[in-house]
Amino acid sequence: MEGNYPDYEAIIPKSSETKCYLSKNDLEESIKLAGCFSSKLNDITMKTNSEKSQMEIFSNNSEYGNHHAKIDSEIKGKDIAIVFNWHYFLDGLKNIDEDELILEFNGDQKPAVIKPAKNADFFYILMPIRNS
């Protein structure tokens, strides 16, 4: 189709400060559970702990309680804490058939990339929720 379109390639990160290698199934299960305890913003917090080789997922709802999960993950680069809408995160995971994932981060305010570890044909860009 002809026309003027926004430069979508400009938002695709060219490099990353943090890379996490982990199981899609473990991540998906943890995000679904965290979603049950998220606030009205559907927010969950993800933190990397490179010393323990773990990704931690937190959520909190004043009415229902909170959730904290730890997933084994190989982490390269800086540790990060970042907030996402769990629905949007799951939307990206649903399109990946492999069990091994790579999550790439460039700080807590820039887009993250979710992609399969072996197939370079697909990636999903996810914007974080402002963490004020």
- Of residues 12 and 38, the one with the higher pLDDT is 38
Burial 3-20 (b: 16+ CB within 10 A, else e): eeeeeeeeeeeeebebbb
Of the pLDDT bands very low, low, confident and very high (cuts 50, 70, 90), residue 6 is confident
Strand duo 112-116 + 43-49: pairing: unpaired
> Structurally, how many domains does the chain consist of?
1
pLDDT score at 119: 86
Task: Report the alpha-carbon distance of residue 104 to residue 123 in Å, rounded.
Answer: 11
Over residues 40-51, the pLDDT tens digits come to 889 999 999 999
Task: Report the alpha-carbon distance of residue 28 to residue 60 in Å, rounded.
Answer: 18
For residue 100, being part of any structural domain is answered with: yes
For residue 3, being part of any structural domain is answered with: no
Over residues 56-115, the pLDDT tens digits come to 999 999 888 999 999 999 999 999 999 999 999 999 999 999 999 999 999 999 999 999
Q: What's the CATH number where 54 sits?
A: 3.10.150.10
Task: State the residue for tokens 């938002």.
Answer: 11
Task: Report the alpha-carbon distance of residue 83 to residue 73 in Å, rounded.
Answer: 18
> In terms of residue numbers, what domain contains 27?
17-126
For residue 22, being part of any structural domain is answered with: yes
pLDDT score at 131: 63
